[in-house]
Amino acid sequence: MNHNQLILLTLALLAVATNSPVTAAPLPCEVKLAKAAIPKNVYFLPESKAAQLQTTLTNKVSVRLKPGGDYRKLLSIKLTSNQALYGLAGTKLPLVIIPAGTSNALLSGVSPVNISFQGSTKPIKNNCFNRISNSKIIANNVLLENNLFTDLSNVAIASDTSQTGYLKNNRFIRTMVHAQYPSINIAGNINKQSQGNVFIWTNILTPHGDGIIINNQKNIRFIGIDAESWNWNQVALYPGMMNIANTDFLSVFMANGGDNYHKTGQYFNLDTSNIVLQGMAISATQNPGIILGNAVENMVTIAIRSIGLDQFNMSTQIIDIDKDYKKLITINAQTIEPENITDAAKNTLADLLQIDKDNYNTWQKPVFSAIPDPAGENWQTNITSKPDSTDAIQALIDNNGIAELNAGIYYISKPLLLNAGQGIIGAGADKTVIIAKSPTIDLIAGANHLDVKTTTTTFVLADLTLQGGFNGINHSAEGSGKGADYVMTTLSHVTIRNMANAGILIDNIYAWDNNFIDHSNFYRCKTGIQQRPDPAYIGGDQLGMTFLDKNVFYQTQFIENDIAIDMQAKRANNLNAFINSQFKNNQQNLIIKNSNSTFFANSVFETASTQPLLVGNNLTGFVNSSFTNNQPDSPLFNGGVYCNACSFNNSTANTEVIVAPTSKNSYFVNSTLSNPTPQTMDTGVVVNSNFTNDATTPVINSLFINKIAKPF
């Protein structure tokens, strides 16, 4: 085998043992969010009494509002400690003020004019802001600490704590900003008190001006980011999409997109002391895509594409590993044989990757509830003789737009049809169940018939269980239409059980694009998610091409399915994410074809299948995720995988192998095996991980380097 053509760059810098950190527990408001999208046991305020919203919130503490309702009678309301305000499907609110000292507040399912954090005397901490849409977050001169933001849809972020205050340890899970600019603008103070903030899945969608501007941070991290054109109207302060200055550490994992409009834009404009870029699929433009300022000391890249680089400081050390999938290590553009890397360069590489890993030590591990089973184990008994509720539920949908069902078991004999904006809300996934009277019928189907041109559409499903049909949700050409583009849907706290074909079928339509699916379950289905493009599609922007772009599954479980995820694209999918999710006892877990920058974060995998956990042809990312393989002699991966800060329980007899010997382009960074075992790969990288070398079981073309010891 030609060493220059094929180098398994296995830089196994054996991690120095550290004390295990204490894992934080979920926030109390996070536990509340897990129970229901819009809990029925909370006091209901009708839309007609919108002027009483503040008084009601003060008196009742927890309040729910009409899905899609308009409650903007007041100019503003205050949300304070231990209060909860629930809407759904973009319930409209006035300005929401979060005063200093607020903790354990919850705001969910609403479209406020803005959300304003105010006061610098006490920290605003341990709050949850969920499914916020068409708004702006303003946090100036405040102490904002350990808050959870989930599903910010078309919500810009503006925070200036340069005079007083800070942002610390806040998690932003799914942040999508469309047109607004700057999309994210965070300015800290010169002492760099702001730190520990992480953005998990971020979409900067065609801002008219600047994309991201960040200044004076100790550190900041982005996991999964997509930007497809920025500075549309040329009214920008900076040419780059992401502009970061006066910051000690930046980490970016799985970046995607590029300047598709002007084809001139710089993706990164960075003046950050230390930078780690991993697993990026960004398109090059006419200008260099990475600009490094004078303050940059070190930049490490692993598995990124060349997009051009300019640097102002010639003493900046740039370490590139596997750039453009070429099996090379370069330091300052000079190719280095692995055995010739200096100790100083090895130490820099190990230290920066360790800083990156340290961020994940404080992440809250996901907590999963039991799969709801409102119909019980005898749900199929005498099913054909059960009363038929199809027409009654359909009438509620047609008359009200969104049908609200009480707790109970409802049987249907044909699909319930949802047109644009229509939907069904139950009393809870453990209380309301809709059961198909035959396994040959779908439960929910699109009814738009959008066949002439591409048209965006949406639907609402929340707090219910779908059981026993052919497909739980069928979005296909026959009903939705080949031009249907599902965007910003509401799919929350839905359990889909026992489907003969798929939990969700997306077949021969235009797309599912920019959707958030949360606290949902796919249980004992033939397939959880199934994507099927038009067989006649050969390229270009066409009806029926069926792409899945930028869909985020959060706190979602895939349990005991034949296949959990079956995404087989023709026009490439981009930046789909599974965050805080669980995959357990599926016969086949992940089939992901022709997809860019798909990633799984803080997720749990447990399998006893003989099938590989992942079958794919592009690089798929896993970060801070755990794996248990209970099937002997069956590798988890067969190439195209990037594991960052992952843990593998391979202690069961004969489960030492986690990657197939023929695997190409496999990356294991900051990862651990419970039973350290050398992995035989065709091509790949192992760095800062405890994969050990055994002379009796040599690893092909590998070089294990200990941070302290000399290369062997």
Chain segment 104-156, per-residue pLDDT in tens = 999 999 999 999 999 999 999 999 999 999 999 999 999 999 999 999 999 99
Q: How many CA atoms lie within 13 A of 178 on its CB side?
A: 9
- pTM of the full structure: 0.94
What is residue 50's three-state secondary structure? helix
Separation CA 59–CA 53 (nearest Å): 10
Put residue 589 in one of left, alpha, beta given phi > 0 → left and psi -120 to 50 → alpha: alpha
What pLDDT, on the 0 to 100 scale, is given for residue 24? Answer: 66
- Predicted confidence at residue 66, as pLDDT, reads 97
Tokens representing 542 are 């066409």
Q: Give me 97's structure tokens.
A: 């003020």
Q: Where is the domain boundary, 488, 516, 549?
A: 549
15 lies in a domain?
A: yes
| Chain mean position to CA 136 | 21
Beta pairing, strands 143-145 & 124-125: parallel
Q: How many domains does the chain have?
A: 2
Helical H segments across 548-622, by residue range: none
Q: Are residues 394 and 536 in the same domain?
A: yes
- The secondary element (H helix, E strand) that includes residue 396 is helix 390-400
Is the residue at 514 inside a domain?
A: yes
Domain-terminating residue out of 498, 516, 549: 549
Distance CA(245)–CA(293), nearest Å, equals 8
Instruction: Determine, yes or no, domain membership for 38.
Output: no
Q: Residue 523: inside a domain, yes or no?
A: yes
Looking at the domain assignment, is residue 705 inside a domain? yes
Give just the sign of the alpha carbon dihedral 517, 523, 525, 528: positive
635 and 694 fall within a common domain: yes
Residues 175/204, Cβ–Cβ less than 8 Å: no
Among the three residues 549, 579, 596, which one is the final residue of a domain in this structure? 549
- Flag residues of the chain having pLDDT under 50: 1-23, 694-712
- Over the stretch 571-586, which tens digit does the pLDDT of each residue have? 999 999 999 999 999 9
Q: Are residues 589 and 688 in the same domain?
A: yes
Same domain, 575 and 446: no
CA–CA gap between residue 348 and residue 296 (Å, rounded): 13
- Claim to verify: residue 519 and residue 596 sit in the same structural domain: no
In a shared domain, residues 421 and 392: yes
Whether 524 and 631 share a structural domain: no
Q: Cα Rg for the chain, rounded, in angstroms?
A: 25
Q: Flag whether 239 is in a domain.
A: no
Residues 485 and 507 occupy one common structural domain: yes
Range of the domain at 15: 1-23+555-712
Angle at 416 between CA 414 and CA 421, to 5 degrees: 165
SS3 content of the chain, % helix, strand, coil (to 5): 10, 45, 50
Quick one: which of 569, 464, 586 has its CA closest to 525? 586
Whether residue 293 lies inside any domain: the answer is no
Residues 611, 536 share a domain: no
491 in any annotated domain = yes
Q: Are 377 and 501 in contact (CB under 8 A)?
A: no
